[in-house]
Amino acid sequence: MAFKQSSSPRLIQWLMIALLVIITDQLTKVLIVSQFQYGDSRFVTSFFNLVRAHNTGAAFNFLAHHDGWQRWFFVGLGFVATGFIVWLLRRHGHQTLFAWALSLILGGALGNVIDRLWHGYVVDFLQFHAGGWYFPSFNVADSAITLGAVLLILDELRRVKRG
């Protein structure tokens, strides 16, 4: 299937953003894995720690306590999502906010897929806490996915307001 001449440069731009997310995510995880043992935690501020946690599930450890099938389920889901997102970027790459959102989600999803393939789990290391309450640890890929989801919501709200 050939790209339209006008959409190809835009697609490459969006894929480069996703690649930047993947590289940033993987570099930070390499640093954590090289400097921390599993379960280590380092105090940074009164509300933030760097930790090394492993997540075999999805967000908030969803499905983490199963016998391993979820690894391949999430890898497969990541590849299906990748195909769908690239298809959307090819068709809607001219919609800047929408394409930014998809690029961030794509980079984050693939960053975590790489972890699942390489380690069998996702490396998490950012931990916020207050008053004895700890938010589940997360990583750069998770942050990109979250920001992408927020941008999708904003894009839709703008679309509804215009419509």
Q: Is 124 a catalytic residue?
A: yes
Candidates 25, 40, 115, 124; catalytic one:
124
Candidates 25, 67, 115, 142; catalytic one:
142
Residues in contact with 22: Cβ distance below 8 Å, sequence separation at least 6, in sequence order: 107, 110, 111, 114, 141
Q: What residues are annotated to the active site?
A: 124, 142
